[in-house]
Amino acid sequence: MKLQFTVPILLVFLTFFTSLNGQNSNKTSDYQIIPKPAYQEILNGAFKVDKKTKITCDETLQQEAKYLSELLGAALGKTLKLEAKVNSGDIILKLDENIENNEGYELTVDNNQIVISGKTSTGVFYGIQTLKQLMPSDIVKATKIGSNFTIPAVVIKDEPRFVYRGMHLDVGRHFFPVSFIKQYIDLIAMHKMNTFHWHLTEDQGWRIEIKKYPKLTEIGAYRNGTIIGHHPGTTNDQKEYGGFYTQEEIKEVVTYAASKHVTVVPEIELPGHSAAAIAAYPELSCFPEEPTDLGKSPMSEKSKELQANGTAKVVYETWGVTGDVYCAGKENTFKFLEDVLTEVLPLFPSKYIHIGGDECPKDNWKRCPNCQNKIKDLGLHDEHELQSYFIQRIEKFVNAKGKQIIGWDEILEGGLAPNATVMSWRGTKGGIEAAKQHHDVIMTPGSHCYFDHYQSKDKANEPLAIGGFTTVEKVYSYNPEPEELTAEEKQYILGAQGNVWTEYMETTDYVEYMILPRMTALSEVVWSAQEQRDWEDFKLRLPNLIERYKAMNLNYAKHSLADENPE
């Protein structure tokens, strides 16, 4: 079903003349919603919410009704009553099979009633998110704002453009507590995004408890120091740093995300970005006796001492890429990874698991007898095909467990695994190639979707970032469907995702600053129809969301609307 994309002209004139006659009317500024709804009809009047307001719902929508009751009740100082009898309340939540899109919703507000309908409970939840944006911004503080407030009258019919609307967070370089992970999920839900890509393993830290391999968290979750300044760093802070999530905490986060209609996709990196695991279990390396090399970066005194006393491998203390990767020629490598995945997969209901596959230098494989024998035994041409074998072998294991893999676009090299979804980060070329091969694709090019880039040309007054220059406007300008694809091939573009790599993001405030409001711009890119989007219009609506950032005490980038055109 294609929805109407403009407010009827007759309605605009009627609203205007009603205003001239001095009757109760609403201003366009009352309806600054992001992402922009597919259809919005502004009505006269408003619905008053007070302590007598009642909510009713279909039996399957109890969770959404409770969420709305708590939201409204926090502002009124009293939790609103939930009525069991359908259609007897002032606010009605219901399912409607006539809505075609599984995440679509319809919202009607008039003087007497609010009705939110969805094809599924997810659609109803998104209707509530839109309703929140029509409320006073102080409501998000969960503090009493008065005995009543009003919501402007409107009819909205809405549905998302893409099925995958994601945000990524790297907790390997810097670790963040469960409380912040939940807040991050709240932001994903608020923006009607539906996927949290949780990057759990890295060279600089292993962040998920694996009971069969306790050293992964005893050793791999903690580094002995971290470089100071931009890579390669000026010195080392000499401070132990780390942390990890227990499996119970993982379950807690997954359950919380599900209550906000967010799917958690875990990432277990392989075969590269594996130095933390190798520090815990050196036998996973091609050369267990060779000491960890940080290149030009300064190493902590503790790690130097460990290496001097015979402990060759340490958790990586710098950024960039290390050549010490999982050995592809040893069977115990695959035994280890299969054991890890056997514990990880049941923790996440998602049909996907991300297995990385990016930035895997082949130098060790080229000089490793085990890897070279594997290439010869399998009749492979080179190390790229060895990586393809590695990925495809893991994919078969994951598929046998009823799951599918996502990998960064390097997994195209040497031959793409049969059922893999490609996440295209090195521009759009990999995504285009995968879509032409009829593989599902998630677009996340560094040019538009990397939120670790600078947001201003005035870098001296900006937090340290990895580089680049990506403004809110540049994020907003992105179209995830490349022009090079045919209409049929574009069907393989599932959506897009914002990536947050945390080399230089040491605190939660830092992360907030880097994602907001670039995340807000991306939310409209992946939700609203391409022909409906307009930068000047978005700028007019953004202040409404910024008022909500303020109410939530979020550390957003305040120069977001500065006149800095994207390069």
C-beta pairs of 9-15 under 8 Å, 24+ apart in sequence = 11/41, 11/42, 12/42, 15/42, 15/44
Distance CA 468, CA 447 (A): 8
Residue 23 CB neighbour total at 10 angstroms: 10
Tell me, yes or no, if 252 is annotated catalytic: no
Rg value, the chain, Cα: 25
> In whole angstroms, what is the distance from residue 411 CA to residue 393 CA?
12
Q: What is the DSSP string of 378-394?
A: HT--SHHHHHHHHHHHH
Distance CA 79, CA 51 (A): 8
- Output the six-digit token pair for 136: 């006073």
Buried b (16+ CB within 10 A) or exposed e, 101-136: bebbbbbbbeeeebbbbbbbbbbbbbbbbbbbbbbe
Residue 464: other Cβ atoms inside 10 A:
13
CA distance 191 to 78: 27
Strands (E), 384-517: 404-408, 421-424, 441-443, 453-454, 467-469, 493-498
DSSP for 274-337 reads -HHHHHH-GGGBS-TTSPP--TTSPPPHHHHHHHHTT-------S-S--S--B-TT-HHHHHHH
Amino acid in the structure at residue 46: A
Residues in a beta bridge with 199: 170, 267
What SS3 state is found at 210?
coil
Among 183, 202, 191, 131, smallest CA distance to 166 is for 191
Residue pair 541/34 in contact (Cβ under 8 Å)? The answer is yes
**Six-digit token pair at 60?**
């399957």
Measure the CA dihedral 424/428/434/438, to 10°: 110
Contact 452, 444 (CB under 8 A): no
Catalytic residue among 83, 252, 359, 413: 359
Q: Do residues 273 and 173 make contact, with C-beta atoms less than 8 angstroms apart?
A: no
Residue 446: its H or E element? helix 446-449
Residues 452, 504 contacting (CB under 8 angstroms) = yes
Which residues are the active-site residues? 359
